[in-house]
Chains A and B, each alone.
Chain A
Amino acid sequence: MSKENGIKGGLKQVLGGDLRQFVMVGAVIVALIIFQILNNGRMITSSNFQNIISGNAYVFTLSIGMVMVIILGQIDLSVGSVAGFVGMTVAITASEYGWPWWVATLGGLGIGALIGAWQGFWLSKMGIPGFISTLAGMMIFRGGVIWMSHSISRPAPEELSWFGAGSLPEWGPNTGLNNSTLLLGVIAIAAVVFMQLRKWKRLATAESKPPLWPVIVRLVVIVGVIGYLTYLFGSGNIGTSFPVPGLIVGFLVVIYHIITQHTRFGRHIYAVGGNKAAAALTGVNVSRTYFLAMFNMSILAAVAGIMFIGRSTAAGPSDGNSWELDAIAAVFIGGAAVSGGIGTVVATIVGGLFMAVLNNGLMLYGVSADQTQVIKGLVLLAAVAVDVLNKQQGRPSIFSRLSRKKAAPAEIPQEQIATESAA
């Protein structure tokens, strides 16, 4: 199959099957370089990178839940309101009722779970489309925040700022870098090398062994990028490191990547989103799958809300406004399909990163928030349009259609005839 010659073929082999993901990563890198030039070197710096990550961790968290909901063919418009509601609850219970910060936080997560059960109930038991039930949720919880807070901001427990914007500790010998960040980098590199080699080993069968060199080239590139990022995040001001919220997001990405790709629940999300009727006839509990996805989404919204008030040290009545749109944009830039069945957690995070870099770069360049909004809208449209065009070009060419027809002559027409009598 992969006997392609020349640079193009080689490149394909190096990138592996997931071409799209690498293109996306490439786009992020290109955007970074462009902004680096436009902003006279203020883009790719330790503090700015730390800023991008901790400033967008809440969007990444939301988009992880959102991609699962969208793969199911649903949507959750309430996540911003839910995040704001939970954040405010935590702040109020801590500052006014004097709950310890961790009790307030657990309480917030509990409320997230309750809200998730509520949203899940309307979709899975009552059959109300997510668009409507979560539109209602968006209003209910936004109203709830304002009602509960009397439109006044509350201070967030100080301990939460570590989760929202904290840094990892310094320890050990003086390496010139933050040693916690260095350790993370080493772990990440080891994990990537292990995974890639294991994948390569599995592909090797008795008859054929895929060449090793593309794997090596790929590894060199990935290790280079991770190494550079480690250096960048680790070499900031003393006391700064790869941000804690980034670590939380990284942890969530790994967990949810495993859930979506390697558990029955994950398979069922794709199955229901791809063909609900077929999934039901395969023994998938469609209503439970709907419930769990919505349930999970609200819990992640609660996590996002808590991370956010930690970073901003206060909960405000308008926290979470239009966050759902940022999360949804990240999902679609990451290549998910509105009709469901397609999308991955990792691609969504890359999509979210792209938006975050764009936002940050434009801000540094001095573009106002309103203009940034216009540009982000256009970029979303362009990204999805490129995707659509790519898929059309991916259709079999005339030549391959002709040759396929020869292989299986009576296929298509018989189906056409069959429709005449289909009851």
Chain B
Amino acid sequence: MEQDSILQMQHITKTFPGVRALDDVTMTVKRGDIHAICGENGAGKSTLMKVLSGVHPFGSYEGRILYQGEEVTFANIRASEEAGIVIIHQELALIPELSITENIFLGNEPMKGGLIDWHTARKRAIELLARVGIDIDPSIQIKNLGVGQQQLVEISKALSKDVKLLILDEPTSALNESDSENLLEILRGLQARGITCIMISHKLAEIAKIADAITVIRDGKTVESYPVVAGQVDEDRIIRAMVGRSLDQRYPEHTSNIGEVVLEVHDWRVEHPAIPGRLVCKDESFYVRAGEIVGFAGLMGAGRTELARSLFGHSYGIFQSGRLSIGGKDVKAQNVEAAIQAGLSYLPEDRKVLGLNLLDTVKRTIVSANEKAILRGPLLDSAKEVQVAEQYRKLLNIKTPDVGVGVNTLSGGNQQKVVLAKWMYPDPQVLLLDEPTRGIDVGAKYEIYKLIQQLADEGKAVVVISSELPELLGITDRIYTICEGRITGEMATKDADQETLMRLMTTTEAMA
């Protein structure tokens, strides 16, 4: 069987300073297969594909890659593409203002006499589009296409490069049901033409439908790799393998003291800001009680962040309908300022992009969401500012010599504590914490968990959104699962386990 493998990755180890992203990963992909790679967010799937496609060039990793029986040493993406390996990323790399033809042949334009031969390009574009089953004018600009069609243009682009091994990173994450179905159909068609596919996906149902082989990666290691028969895939086995790490004592002990309902959301409905008609939250309802820590489990793009930001003064998407009340009072906050006023706080998932002004100082950041509190007349009281900042520095154990230094001088964990302090200072009744421990080290995580528990003990309603299931199981009292804008399940944390949650996070049918 060895001879018909198109790709063998042997003992691949890739380290970033201080961490092992891939640890001795070995996998074999057979020619003509659709090979699925599964794993949690951050397990190392994309890193593995970056190693394969030359994004992480030869020499920056250990191990060997055999492609079509020979060892390959790609220095960049161009080299891997020349060999027939094409990767299609989750975020499409098409240029919206250019036409389909221009996009397909970008960097690979057919030339005649030193000029681009647009006539040939157009003809070939039509042929390529026909191969992925779409019949549209290739002079249409990409921005006028739906996501599903854009995805197909990406595949056409790959086909134009004479692809032998096509890698798709979460190809259906942005697609609706019928577009996804269509895409899977096209992958089967490519398979029939002898093109091998590697597909990274979170959606087990899709994998079950079309995969010929499955590799599960967890914490940078291959857990399992085995051939399957499409249509007869054991989803439970995949889930177990994906989450199978044991829970160690990474979470502080805590007994919750749960009171009355504080946050109540009814039939919340939000439309995507750019795609009319696509709902990112589909009439969902939930509640959080005082002193309770509630987890929102869902994969990337499931709609967790969108829901939280929409609640926070409609700061995401187009609000359509729904009711939000805090402490029994209806809240109609249509901007962030009003939401803060009403007792909401939202800690954004991406600290550097949404959470912080990296040019600012620690003290200014800490008071920034509640500057009114340090006003003396029309002026900000800088003495009080320092006093407040010092108070939080001690409370949260923020490691900085001086609250007057720039936040960019702090480590990630300490930056996150500054953001947390910023959202604690307005003294909110409800805290929506979006990935509060992302990108920080284990020690800082533990401190943040303790702070979250402390906030709950003060009677606040706390929502923790996280991609890490162990984290949710470790610190919450109750968990909602979200998939594609729907709340698909609710359970007390003591009754939850990773397998159940993962199943609910990957299903679109709501539990009764």
Q: Let me know if A420 is at the binding interface, CB within 8 A.
A: yes
Q: Which residues does chain B contribute within 8 Å of A416, judged by CB atoms?
A: 16, 21
Across the interface, do A275 and B442 meet the contact criterion of CB distance under 8 Å? no
- A262–B380 CB distance below 8 A: yes
- State which of A280, A408, A421 has its C-beta within 8 Å of the C-beta of B441: A408
Contacting pair A417 B47 (CB below 8 A): yes
B375, B402, B439, B442: the one contacting A415 at CB < 8 Å is B439
Most buried by B among A277, A278, A409: A278
CB proximity of A404 to chain B, nearest CB, Å: 8
Interface 0/1 of A259-272, CB less than 8 Å to B: 00011100100110
Contact at B441–A414, with CB atoms within 8 Å?
A: yes
Instruction: Determine if B160 is an interface residue (Cβ-Cβ < 8 Å).
Output: no
Q: Please, how many angstroms separate the alpha-carbon atoms of A282 and B360 in the complex?
A: 14
B413 within 8 A of A: yes
Contact between B315 and A412 (Cβ–Cβ < 8 Å)? no
Interface string of A266-293 (1 = CB under 8 A from B): 0100110011011111111100000000
A416 closest partner in B (C-beta): B16
CA distance A53 to B360 in the complex (A): 33
Question: Bound complex: CA of A414 vs CA of B50, how far in Å?
Answer: 16
Judge whether A262 and B42 touch: CB under 8 Å: no
Are A262 and B382 in contact, with the CB atoms below 8 A?
A: yes
Interface check B371, CB cutoff 8 A: yes
**Interface members, chain B 355-409 (any A CB < 8 Å):** 355-360, 364, 368-369, 371-372, 375, 378-380, 382-383, 386, 401-402
User: What's the interface size class on B, roughly?
Assistant: 35 or more
CB distance from A112 to the nearest CB of B (A): 23
Identify the closest chain A residue to B364 (Cβ).
Answer: A267
Separation of A258 and B19 alpha carbons in the complex (Å): 47
Q: Is the CB of B368 within 8 A of A267?
A: yes
Stretch at the interface among B335-343, B471-479, B499-507: B335-343
Q: Which residues of B contact A398 (CB under 8 A)?
A: none
Give Cα A262 to B312, complex, Å: 28
B54 interfacial contact with A, CB 8 Å: no
Selected from A264, A418, A423, the residue in CB contact (under 8 A) with B42 is A418
**Chain A 321-352 per-residue mask, 1 if CB under 8 angstroms from chain B, else 0:** 00000000000000000000110000000000
Could you tell me the dominant secondary structure of chain A's interface residues?
Answer: helix
Of B18, B300, B355, B378, most buried by chain A (CB within 10 Å of CB) is B18
Are A278 and B173 interface neighbours, CB within 8 A? no
Q: Given A264-B371, A278-B356, is A421 in contact with B18 using a C-beta cutoff of 8 Å?
A: no
Contact residues in B for A418 (Cβ distance below 8 Å): 41-42, 438-439
Q: Is the CB of B371 within 8 A of A409?
A: no
Residues A282 and B17 in contact, CB atoms below 8 Å apart: no
Residues of B within 8 A of A274 (CB): 357-360
Complex: A31 Cα to B340 Cα, angstroms: 51
Q: Whole-angstrom distance from the CB of B349 to the nearest CB of chain A? A: 9
Bound form: Cα–Cα A283–B173 in Å: 31
- Say if the beta carbon of A12 comes within 8 Å of chain B: no
Whether the Cβ atoms of B439 and A411 lie closer than 8 Å is yes
Tell me, in angstroms, the Cα distance from A413 to B411 when the chains sit together.
13
Do B368 and A408 touch (CB < 8 A)? Answer: no
Q: Are B19 and A414 in contact (CB under 8 A)?
A: yes
Assembled-state Cα–Cα distance A59/B439 (Å): 47
Contact B413 A411 (CB under 8 A): yes
Smallest distance from the beta carbon of A270 to chain B beta carbons, Å? Answer: 7
The minimal Cβ–Cβ distance linking B139 to chain A, given in whole angstroms, is 29
B337 touches A285 (CB 8 A): yes
Residue of A nearest to B402 (CB): A1
Contact partner, B359, options A283, A342, A409, A411, Cβ 8 Å:
A342
Q: Are B357 and A413 within 8 A (Cβ)?
A: no
B285 at the binding interface (Cβ < 8 Å): no
A422 close to B315 (CB less than 8 A): no
A407 at the interface (CB under 8 A from B): yes
Q: Is the CB of B44 within 8 A of A417?
A: yes
| Contact between A411 and B18, CB atoms less than 8 A apart | yes
Chain B residue nearest in CB terms to A1? B401
Which of chain A's residues has its CB closest to B20's CB?
A413
- Which residues from chain B contact A282 at a C-beta distance below 8 Å? 336, 368-369, 422
On B, residues with C-beta under 8 Å from A are 15-19, 21, 41-42, 44-47, 50, 90, 173, 300-301, 309, 312-313, 315, 335-337, 339-340, 346, 348, 350, 353-360, 364, 368-369, 371-372, 375, 378-380, 382-383, 386, 401-402, 411-413, 422, 438-442, 467
Further pairs besides A271-B368, A284-B336, A411-B411: 8, Cβ < 8 Å: A202-B383, A258-B379, A274-B359, A278-B355, A281-B336, A408-B412, A411-B412, A413-B18
**Subset of 13 A-B contacts with CB under 8 Å:** A264-B372, A271-B368, A283-B313, A283-B335, A283-B369, A284-B337, A405-B17, A411-B440, A417-B42, A418-B439, A420-B42, A421-B300, A423-B90
Residues of A bordering B, CB below 8 Å: 1, 202, 258, 262-264, 267, 270-271, 274-275, 277-285, 341-342, 404-405, 407-418, 420-423
List the 6 shortest-distance A-B pairs measured between CB atoms, nearest first: A420-B46, A413-B16, A274-B357, A413-B19, A421-B41, A283-B337
